Amino acid sequence: MAENSTGGESLLFLTDENLRKGIEAMFFAYRGFTSDPDRILEGLDYGRAHHRAVHFINRSPGTTVGNLLAVLGVTKQSLNRVLRALFDDGLVEARVGRADKRERHLYLTDKGAALERALSDAQRARMRAAYRAAGPVAVQGFRTVLEAMMDPEQRRQYQGLKESGA
């Protein structure tokens, strides 16, 4: 029975028990989703912050440090620590902006692209299997739920990534 919030239909999917189950499912799903990349990163002495930086630099080559700060929602000090390690290890390079010489535009090196590919391949395999098991209607519903959970600014950033195709 499909339940939603229209008309006189049941709202049983909004019970505290169902919400608790959803929260717990998110915790365990996130653990699973991050476990494969965590194993790869562990061998390199990197963490999830490095993974997120590499992911979004790959997603938007040439992004600025300022843009990356906004997307990741971390402090400048925290991001600088992550970027320093990625620069030092030859995974990311910064190029001076053409229009504004103060800007640093970030790009993955070949080595950085290989790491990003290994990390995202592991996550894509997990997502692909889950999507296949759930089917297209469930996948769209899942995406709708995730977008509804985002704060308005996060949703705008996410929509901007989707629209740019970056």
Query: Around Cβ 37, how many Cβ atoms within 10 Å?
Result: 23
| Average pLDDT rounded to a whole number, residues 55-80 | 94
Q: Answer with the residue of higher pLDDT: 54 or 154.
A: 54
Structure tokens at 111: 């080595």
Nearest to 71, CA basis, from 83, 86, 59: 59
pLDDT of residue 165: 60
| Average pLDDT rounded to a whole number, residues 143-162 | 89
pLDDT digits (tens, 9 = 90+) for 40-56: 999 899 999 999 999 99
Nearest to 122, CA basis, from 26, 47, 38, 42: 38
In this prediction, residue 2 has a pLDDT band, given cuts at 50, 70 and 90, of very low
| Average pLDDT rounded to a whole number, residues 141-153 | 93
Percent of the chain with pLDDT over 70: 92
**SS3 annotation, the chain:** CCCCCCCCCCCHHHCHHHHHHHHHHHHHHHHHHHHHHHHHHHCCCCCHHHHHHHHHHHHCCCEEHHHHHHHHCCCHHHHHHHHHHHHHCCCEEEEECCCCCCCEEEEECHHHHHHHHHHHHHHHHHHHHHHHHHCHHHHHHHHHHHHHHCCHHHHHHHHHHHHHCC
Least trusted range by pLDDT, from 21-30, 95-104, 145-154 = 95-104
pLDDT at 159 over 90: no
pLDDT at 8 over 50: no
| Average pLDDT rounded to a whole number, residues 102-120 | 96
Least trusted range by pLDDT, from 48-52, 56-60, 157-161 = 157-161
In this prediction, residue 115 has a pLDDT band, given cuts at 50, 70 and 90, of very high
pLDDT of residue 60: 94
